[in-house]
Amino acid sequence: MSKTTEKSERAHIIKKLSKYRSHLKGNREDLLLKLTKYYEKDDSEKEQGIYTVKTDLKDIKNINYSNPYETYLAAQIKISEKLPPILNEHISMLEAGNDIDKTLESFEFEVYKVKKDIYSDMNEWKSIIDHIPDYRLFEIELNPKGPGDLLINELLWIKEYEERFENGSEDE
């Protein structure tokens, strides 16, 4: 690869990672708003004793994992909090002239660790994957519909990442 091509590719990757970082920061506020609205209940529900939050968010460490919408929003909020510093680090590595491929491999591994940590408490969701037919998993990967599919898609990404390295095929 020529120096000009490498410089161009490096600049393109830095731009993409910076755009993703900005998206995560902006998206976090939208996700928090959606989760807050989800928690807000009307007065009749309050009287029935259903959980209500008007001014503060329920601790997103204590999410009801049986509700895909709540689970997905909480997971995405956590991702939007944890990934920007990782993006900053890898953008700096690229700006410093580090090897592009090694930097991107490092970034992918850091994303994997973040997602693995965030989704580690979702054993019920992980076990669902083993019972979904292959054709449906393929459909979910191509065109996820709704928060349940999006959760499964994230868990599939984690599983595929792990399988890729268990099989010794890191070069894929």
Amino acid 102: pLDDT: 97
Q: Is residue 153 over pLDDT 50?
A: yes
Residue type, 139: E
Amino acid 33: pLDDT: 87
18-27, long-range: CB within 8 Å, 24+ apart, which pairs? 18/87, 18/91, 20/87, 21/83, 21/84, 21/87, 21/88, 21/91, 24/79, 24/80, 24/83, 24/84, 24/87, 25/80, 25/84, 27/76, 27/80
The residue extents of the domains of the chain are 3-166
Amino acid 23: pLDDT: 94
Looking at residues 107-115, what average pLDDT do you find? 97
Closest CA to 90 of 82, 78, 79, 98: 98
Backbone angles phi, psi at 144, to 5 degrees: -65, 135
Amino acid 120: pLDDT: 85
What are the pLDDT digits (tens) for 61-81? 555 567 888 888 989 999 999
